[in-house]
């Protein structure tokens, strides 16, 4: 079982819609979770991190964490064409600072 | 703040030669840096953890004699791909936690695209 798994996508949404990305993790000891955005040919950039159960909002992005279900999600509201990218979920395993990345979900926002 | 640079941004080399990639933290010091490799349409795979003042820690399946890592200072780590072959062609990315203390947050360099002909 992979440490971090993401819904494979690709995901296509119309401009202005909500894009919903899902991620599950296997290590119950993981305490923090990260969402990175990666444009084609570029390196990842951090867009959100979440440590506590519940929701965390930052602009048009909302991260949701459910530790009991070992589930992390990212919602992108009012999707824009500039949001078209691959989104990577990442988590460090227990007692480690190395990040395990999911396979990524490619999002395309249709104008 | 928390800017990480890489050099070169892209490199083409012939099979059998060695290539050195530099990773620098520009506005902070880092005792730890991470090296990743990403093949087309795949996710990032951690290759090794670079530790200032000690040996690098390699992930399972990564040949330490082929991918030489040297953490020369608190702002510089280098990855040398020795005797490169076409299958080593990939996007190499480094990252560093922003500071001397251990941290879950990582900031990524812009990446180095290596093509071995």
Number of continuous H segments (helices) and E segments (strands) in chain A? 0, 11
Count CB pairs under 8 A between chains A and B.
45
CA-based nearest distance B73→chain A, Å? 20
| Alpha-carbon gap, residue B34 to A48, rounded angstroms | 20
Answer yes or no: do A46 and B107 touch at CB < 8 A.
Answer: yes
- Which of B33, B43, B36 minimizes the C-alpha distance to B2? B33
Q: What does the pLDDT look like over B49-102, one tens digit per residue? A: 998 888 999 999 999 999 999 998 999 999 999 999 999 999 999 999 876 666
With a pLDDT cut of 90, the percent of chain B lying above it is 75
- Residue in chain A closest to B109 (alpha carbons) equals A43
Q: Which of B45, B103, B110 sits opposite A97 (nearest CB)?
A: B103
| Alpha-carbon gap, residue B91 to B77, rounded angstroms | 17
| Alpha-carbon gap, residue B108 to A45, rounded angstroms | 7
- Give the mean pLDDT of A23-35: 91
What pLDDT shows up at residue B101? Answer: 64
pLDDT value at B1 more than 90: no
Residues contacting residue B116 through CB under 8 Å, at least 6 positions apart: B12, B13, B14, B15, B84, B85, B86, B87, B88, B89
| Alpha-carbon gap, residue B31 to B117, rounded angstroms | 34
pLDDT value at B103 more than 80: no
pLDDT value at B36 more than 70: yes
Coil, strand or helix at A79: coil
Which residues of chain A make contact with B111, given a CB cutoff of 8 A?
42-43
| Confidence bin at A28 (pLDDT 50/70/90) | confident
- The tokens for B23 are 């990773």
């Amino acid at each position: 079982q992979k440490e971090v798994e993401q819904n494979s996508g690709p995901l296509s949404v119309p401009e202005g819609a909500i894009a919903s990305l899902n991620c599950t993790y296997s290590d119950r000891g993981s305490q923090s979770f990260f969402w990175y955005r990666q444009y084609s040919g570029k390196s990842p950039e951090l867009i959100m991190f979440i440590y506590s159960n519940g929701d965390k909002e930052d602009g048009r992005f909302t991260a949701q964490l459910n530790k009991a279900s070992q589930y992390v999600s990212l919602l992108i509201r009012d999707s824009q064409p500039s949001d078209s990218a691959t989104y990577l979920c990442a988590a460090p395993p227990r007692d480690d600072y190395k990040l395990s990345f999911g396979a990524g979900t490619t999002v395309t926002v249709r104008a | 703040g928390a800017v990480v640079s890489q050099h070169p941004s892209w490199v083409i080399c012939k099979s059998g030669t060695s290539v050195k990639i530099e990773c620098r933290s520009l506005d902070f010091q880092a005792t730890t840096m991470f090296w990743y490799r990403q093949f087309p349409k795949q996710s990032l795979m951690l290759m090794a953890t670079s530790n200032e003042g000690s040996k690098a820690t390699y992930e399972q399946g990564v040949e330490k004699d082929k991918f030489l890592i040297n953490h020369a200072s608190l702002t510089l780590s280098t990855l040398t791909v020795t005797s490169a072959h076409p299958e080593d062609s990939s996007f190499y990315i480094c990252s560093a936690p922003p500071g001397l203390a251990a941290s879950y947050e990582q900031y990524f360099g812009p990446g180095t695209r290596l093509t071995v002909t």
